[in-house]
Amino acid sequence: MNTAVAGRRLPTEAGATAHGLGVIRILGIDPGSQRTGVGIIDVDPNGRLTHVCHTALAVAGEASFALRLKRIFDELGALLELHHPDECGIEQVFMARNPDSALKLGQARGAAICAAVSHGLDVHEYAATEVKRAVVGSGRGDKTQVQHMVGILLGLKGPLQPDAADALAIAIAHAHTRAGLARAGIPRAAWRRRR
């Protein structure tokens, strides 16, 4: 059983989480101003990945952009309360051709980050090329390749909604990054300092 201290859930014994001894639950977020992809996986101490859930939060139907942001924050918060992830990965903002689109994407990303941080999670950021490299093996893979490999890595049948597949890919990229850095002996506090 986990306890909460200053908004963070802390394991009651060394190596224990709410999901089992040594199992880490990772939330991946693919932010978007119309649809925000969410994917959650478990990673056991041997690196085995297990699918927990995935969805796309469709928010385009709201009456105002501010209400879209609120819905991202609220719906993501509800998923966090339900699944209790331990760590979070999110895609970095890329430079869009349209400044208005880039601004809206950044605001949607901010709403998602605030939801994660308000539930005590550290947020690790990944460029799209890092995610593709981790899942497909090349930073130039396309969406179809990402969807296909996510399905294979997590043993999922049938097609995946693109935003949800991207979110699962971000969670997988975080799992691979944390495992690689742990093997190299790099302390967790230094993981994302290189940015």
Q: How far apart are CA 165 and CA 150, in angstroms?
A: 7
Active-site pick, 75, 86, 87, 91: 91
Active-site pick, 30, 42, 75, 166: 30
State the chain's mean pLDDT as an integer: 85
Q: In the prediction, which pLDDT does 183 show?
A: 67
pLDDT, mean of residues 148-176: 93
Domains of the chain: 3-180 (3.30.420.10)
C-alpha dist (Å) from residue 175 to 55, 98, 168, 180: 19, 32, 11, 9
Q: For residue 187, is pLDDT > 80?
A: no
Q: For residue 84, is pLDDT > 80?
A: yes
Looking at the chain, which runs of residues are DSSP E strands? 3-5, 8-10, 16-17, 20-21, 24-30, 35-43, 49-58, 87-91, 123-126
Q: In the prediction, which pLDDT does 185 show?
A: 66
Tell me phi and psi for residue 78, to 5 degrees: -65, -40
Token reading at 58: 């469709």
Q: In the prediction, which pLDDT does 180 show?
A: 73
Q: In the prediction, which pLDDT does 179 show?
A: 75
pTM confidence score: 0.84
Q: In the prediction, which pLDDT does 195 show?
A: 42
Cα angle value 13/27/48 (rounded, 5°)? 70
Q: For residue 97, is pLDDT > 80?
A: no
- Read off the pLDDT band of 106 (50, 70, 90): very high
- 166 belongs to the catalytic site: no
Q: For residue 2, is pLDDT > 60?
A: no
- 30 belongs to the catalytic site: yes
pLDDT, mean of residues 167-186: 84
- 100 belongs to the catalytic site: no
- Read off the pLDDT band of 139 (50, 70, 90): confident
Q: In the prediction, which pLDDT does 127 show?
A: 92
Active-site pick, 42, 86, 163, 166: 163
